[in-house]
A = this chain, B = another copy of it.
């Protein structure tokens, strides 16, 4: 099964959406891929014809087992390249997404396996998202939203809820990274903001919006 770059972006988009919404709608995918609903419908027919998608007119859609398997492999490539860019080429973690969006489409099995080995079989990408292994297996991620972390409980940032550059810019400014140790010191009901402490640093404030975009595991 060879797919065009565009078909790959579509099934990857559907894969991400159906993690949250079991069945995906035309408008949701149109919004994610920044295309018109008409374009989405056209592609849904093609993906259905290739047996990658379960789709009935007006009824929403989700990937077949085959479609999901291919999508997971695209996600694997995307996240391996992101790891490469940050760990080997010294990119900032907020600079890698667009380039990985292109690199992910190079499907050479040999390339992916050798890259994985060269990187030391990393299990998480620079945003804390798990990298599927060569069989499509994904290390489950037991993660707690920072907004739900109990007071004075040491924890470590393990992923972010979005890759928007505005979020990543803010995190860079506050010196928060994947792996950063945090403790929540106070909660303010008025605006649901948090006061947190990073190791050996004065307490800082996080807005509700920011805290909700951060996931942690206790340590």
Contact = CB atoms under 8 A, between A and B. Distances in A.
A111 interface: yes
B89 A115 contact: yes
A88 interface: yes
B88 A99 contact: no
A89 B118 contact: yes
Which of A85, A90, A95, A111 has the most CB atoms of chain B within a 10 A radius of its CB?
A: A111
B90 A114 contact: yes
B106 A99 contact: yes
A111 B102 CA distance: 12
Contacts of A90: 114, 118
A2 interface: no
A21 interface: no
A95 B114 CA distance: 13
A106 B118 CA distance: 21
Contacts of A98: 108
A208 to B, nearest CB: 34
A108 B103 CA distance: 11
B102 A114 contact: no
B110 A91 contact: yes
Interface string A91-125: 10001001100110110101100110010000000
Nearest to A95: B110
Contact of A89 (B102, B105, B106, B114): B114
Nearest to A5: B5
22 contacts: A85-B111, A85-B114, A88-B118, A89-B111, A89-B114, A89-B115, A89-B118, A90-B114, A90-B118, A91-B110, A91-B114, A95-B110, A98-B108, A99-B106, A99-B108, A99-B110, A99-B111, A102-B105, A102-B106, A102-B108, A103-B103, A103-B106
